Amino acid sequence: MRSPSMTDDRAVLATIFGRLFENEFATLDGIAISCRSGAGMDYVDGTAGLSLWLEDEVTAAPLEPADVVAHAIHVALLAAVPEHDAVISGWSRHLRALLLEDLGVPPSTSMMRNRGVTDLAAHLVEPDQLVGPALAGTIERARTLAESSGMRHLLIVTTEGLVVVSGSPPFEAMAHWHNVEFAARIECMRIEGLAMHRLET
Amino acid sequence: MDTGSYEPARRLLARVAGLLYDRRLTELQGGNMSLRVGDAVVMTPTKASENTGWRLEAQDTLVQDLDGELLIGDAAKISREIRIHMRLYRTFPDVGCVFHLHLPEAIAAAAGRWEPGVVAATPDPYGAAVVVLERDLRAQTEPHDARAVELLGRVSRAEGALAIGSMHGTFGVARDLPTNVRAADVLRQRLDLERLRGRLKPWRTGAEA
């Protein structure tokens, strides 16, 4: 049960954090979640997300974002896409393993294809395209790609495995974000299974 | 301090003990956690894993001051590991939380490729500093505890630090509880990523053909 002092917007952040963290989709290393609110934007990242989810009254929760780069991305996305209510960013660890081993991006699952993501490679950007003056152009290209693909959400993936999604409502954005890690898990399992099969035959 | 003032910390520690198991950061036959509150320490009881499966309630936790006087709970339920917790709190005023976890990825790394001593003096590359105790040091002995304190004193504790005992587990210290969860969790994730990459490496692009 959420504490009476927690606003609905903060409760959404806490729930999204918990659902992604409990199932090991999100790691404390890089997760950031924001929702549009009356005050502008509610935002948590990393261990502040854990504290919020735990309703931690003991630890002094940080007032400032721990990840200023992620925070800037969230602010820019919500400003650029008024129809979206939430942004989720974080590492997809299986995608990161695939990319670091030059195994490319995983094939889109039907869940992704049905939502307009037919080729994950089309969403790849270099990490420096998410900082500074390059960020606005990256968001604009993601928006154009989303419109041409019939997507309800924006998806940006770095070549290091950081996944950024904006969408609406917030839980749908959460599902879009987790779809990438889910597809990458399947691809890693496929490769490992193939390797085992070849060793046995 | 009014004993009721420990309640938020007792609730938090009880919940996080279960979370640490759910998140595969410890197992069902050992581990203990504590949290500093002012001049006292809230701690999990002995055999919390075996007796409850890490399903603790706030009233299961104990509170002891830094001089060793039990403030809340049954003295028979104090874990023998609490000695090293207290030693860490007394030695390092910056430490607000101590976890002893049976973290398999860390135990395996310390039993294999990592040599005793300082593995990572800073949070890079494992998210927290990491030290490894000598393999002949037995847990719950003075030389073991002294060496853990000495090694943890040589590394950055800003994002948490973990001392790994041979075939035993980790002693993680951090300024607060969320940072200590993060230290263990990120270490596990990064070791897991390394193992995953190792399994994928033979199948780099082109190797599948």
From CA A180, how far away is CA A161, in angstroms rounded? 10
- Nearest CB to B182; choose among A47, A58, A98: A47
Alpha-carbon Rg for chain B in angstroms: 18
The number of CA neighbours under 13 Å toward the Cβ of B166 is 14
Q: Chain B contact for A96, CB < 8 A?
A: yes
Q: Count of CB atoms within 10 A of residue B142's CB?
A: 11
Q: How confident is the model at residue B87 (pLDDT cuts 50, 70, 90)?
A: very high
ipTM: 0.80
CA geometry: angle B26, B164, B36, nearest 5 deg:
70
- Nearest CB to B197; choose among A22, A50, A101: A101
Pick from A182, A20, A159, A25: nearest CA to A109: A182
C-beta separation of A191 from A129 below 8 A: no
Nearest CA in chain B to A196: B199
C-beta separation of A87 from A156 below 8 A: no
Mean pLDDT value of segment B135-143 = 92
Q: What is the structure's pLDDT at B209?
A: 39
Give φ, ψ of A9 to 5 degrees. -65, -45
Q: What is the pLDDT of residues A15-60, one digit of tens each?
A: 999 999 988 899 898 999 999 998 789 999 999 999 999 988 888 7
With beta carbons under 8 A apart, name residues in chain B contacting A62: none
Question: What does pTM read for this prediction?
Answer: 0.88
Cβ partners under 8 Å of residue A13, min gap 6? A33, A34, A35, A42, A43, A44, A49, A52
With the CA atoms of B118, B124, B127 and B128 taken in that order, what torsion angle do they form, in degrees rounded to the nearest 10? Answer: 30
Nearest CA in chain A to B195: A97
Determine the 3-state secondary structure of B133 from DSSP.
coil
Mean pLDDT taken over chain B: 93
Question: What's the gap in Å between the CA of B23 and the closest CA on chain A?
Answer: 7
From CA A58, how far away is CA A107, in angstroms rounded? 44
Q: How confident is the model at residue A198 (pLDDT cuts 50, 70, 90)?
A: confident
